[in-house]
A = this chain, B = another copy of it.
Amino acid sequence: MRQVETPRPPEENNRRMTLVRAAAVLFRDQGYERTTVRDLGNAVGMQSGSLFYHFRTKEEILVAVMALGITSTTEQLALALAAAPTLRDKLAALFRVHLNSLLGDNQAALEVMLYEWRSVSEAAKPGLVVLRDRYEALWQQVLEEAAAAGMVKQDTGLLRRTLLGSLHWTVQWYRRDGDLAVDALAERMLRLVLIE
């Protein structure tokens, strides 16, 4: 049985990290395919050829962006859950952390993870799937506790998928310059799913 290599976000190296953060914004705004290695080099003040000292291929950059997006969100959620005193607070944390990671300032990486999946090679997918599953396991655990307490409906597997779908889709319509703050949106979305 082969061990699945889970890509780590490149926290250790500063130059790599700058590049990954810049790539996240470009990939989100223009899409991975439309972003050229020249664009990437430009964004960090580097010639396009120099990128390939840090990454072997353009796709390796994409995978690094995605790994960063999902792992940092997972970490934030784990912290928020540990700090939540009540089950209601835990539920609220699910929505709040996810939306802030998607819609907050300089938070492009998770969006890339969600919307550029098709450009990831088959070889790289398993590692990212492991990271995603860790994140969704946190959701599943809280939802099951909430269902047991009668706060949400019982079909928790499907509930998790529909809720995550609802949240992911916010990037398509949410406008940061509107009146609705991210935390307020999180609260309203939570209320839609709570059984009163």
Which of B115, B153, B170, B191 touches A192 (beta carbons < 8 Å)? B153
A176 within 8 A of partner (CB): no
Copies in the assembly, this chain:
2
Which of B30, B119, B155, B161 touches A169 (beta carbons < 8 Å)? B161
Among residues of B, the one whose C-beta sits closest to the C-beta of A167 is B165
A2 within 8 A of partner (CB): no
Which of A30, A169, A189 counts the most chain B CB atoms within 10 A? A169
- Complex Cα distance, B192 from A122, in Å, reads 34
Do the beta carbons of A153 and B191 come within 8 Å of each other?
yes
Do the beta carbons of A192 and B31 come within 8 Å of each other?
no
Interface set of A (CB-CB < 8 Å, partner B): 30-31, 33-34, 115, 117-119, 153, 155, 158-159, 161-170, 172-173, 188-189, 191-192
